Amino acid sequence: MKKAVCPGSFDPITNGHIDIIKRAAELFDEVTVLVVTNPDKKCVFSPEERCRLIEKAVEGINGVKVDSFSGLLADYVKQNGISAIVKGIRSSSDFEYEFQMALANRSLAPNAETVFITADPQNMYVSSSLIRQIAAFGGNVSDFVPKNIVEEIEKRLK
């Protein structure tokens, strides 16, 4: 069974993430969406909230599960027999950042390949920070996040 992980902060999950997760689910038997605690980032949503929102957002996508982890991604990959780390790329700046992480993860977990999936052009400008900013000022985020989590995000961030 080919297992992949889609790691990230997901603060909160966006339509851009969902597109990458759906496309990863076409390529692998099992895809874990992994909420990773990043010590360099101060998140607005707790890991539990982020996992709950993701669980609602991925309802109906076959072969997808949700988990959270605090530590090195390479350790999670090794502990769970995962063979691919899937990352979405929106721009050259994403690539610079992801390329460095891919090389580090390759050194730490040589049995896992990092697989880059290019963002759908429609989602190239969509980010969690954009959503947080729009919702904080009472804007409508329904074009940017799955319909069944819009209300919860808007209520929580307003």
**90 included as an active-site residue:** yes
Please identify which residue in 44, 61, 89, 104 interacts with ligand PNS, judged by CB under 6 A: 104
Under 8 Å CB-to-CB from 42, ≥6 apart: which residues? none
Residue 48 CA to residue 51 CA, distance in Å, equals 5
Site for ligand PNS in 41-100 (CB under 6 A): 41, 72-74
For the question of residue 127 being annotated catalytic, the response is: no
**In this chain, which stretch among 2-10, 44-52, 117-125, 130-138 interacts with ligand PNS, using CB under 6 A?**
2-10
C-alpha distances (whole Å) from 111 to each of 34, 80, 105, 126 are 19, 12, 10, 31
Residue whose CB is less far from ligand PNS, 14 or 25: 14
Residues touching ligand PNS: how many (CB under 6 A)?
12
Query: Quick one: CA dihedral 99, 11, 35, 55, positive or negative?
Result: negative
Kindly state whether residue 115 participates in binding ligand PNS, applying the rule CB under 6 A: no
Decide if 41 is catalytic: yes
Contact 121, 2 (CB under 8 A): no
Peptide bond between residue 146 and the one before it cis (omega within 30 degrees of 0): no
From the list 3, 17, 50, 132, the catalytic residue is 17
Classify strands 84-89 and 64-69 as parallel, antiparallel or unpaired.
unpaired
State the catalytic residue, choosing from 50, 87, 128, 132.
128
Q: How far is the CB of 84 from ligand PNS (least distance, A)?
A: 14
Binding site for ligand PNS (CB under 6 A): 7-9, 36, 38, 41, 72-74, 101, 104-105
Q: List, by residue number, the catalytic residues.
A: 17, 41, 90, 128
